[in-house]
Amino acid sequence: MSSVTGVVQIDPGVADAGAHRLGGRLREIFRSRRLLAGVCIVGVFAGVGIVGPFLVHNANALSTHDWASPSLSHLLGTNEIGQDVFAQLVVSARASLEIGAGAGLIATAISILIGISGGYAGGIVDEALSLLTNVSS
């Protein structure tokens, strides 16, 4: 009778539990039409912000046509000084994404600092910080 020590046997049902939970959550996401629509909108906006500036040559280039209607040369027309509105929209999408990501990172860092401070101090300080964050959100 041989005895092997240090070998751990994993139940196959337990090993697949993590993958099963992830698959279940993905199915939930794709079932929710509102969530799926939001993910698609943000995805298109992010794609335009990332790829768009490589496709648009000069957003500030002036055309001889001011207030031009949408056409193949100007997809959304031009503004009062002849700038292509679509080109400006594409270029500004990247700046909007950068500002949004930066604001999210700053808010997350501040929230982490408040949470750590409240958890470390405990007691009345924790209660006050918790109340402050609940009221402000």
Tens-place pLDDT, residues 101-118: 999 999 999 999 999 999
Question: 19: which 2 tokens?
Answer: 């993958």
**What secondary structure, in 3-state letters, does 46-87 show?**
HHHHHHHHHHCCCCCCECCCCCCCCCCCCCCCECCCCEEHHH
Question: In this structure, are residues 68 and 74 in contact, taking their beta carbons and an 8 Å threshold?
Answer: yes
| Per-residue pLDDT, 40 | 92
Tens-place pLDDT, residues 9-37: 655 555 555 556 777 877 877 788 898 89
- pTM score, two decimals? 0.65
| Per-residue pLDDT, 9 | 61
Tens-place pLDDT, residues 82-98: 898 999 999 899 899 99
Query: What average pLDDT is seen over the chain?
Result: 85
Q: What are phi and psi of 9, to 5 degrees?
A: -95, 130
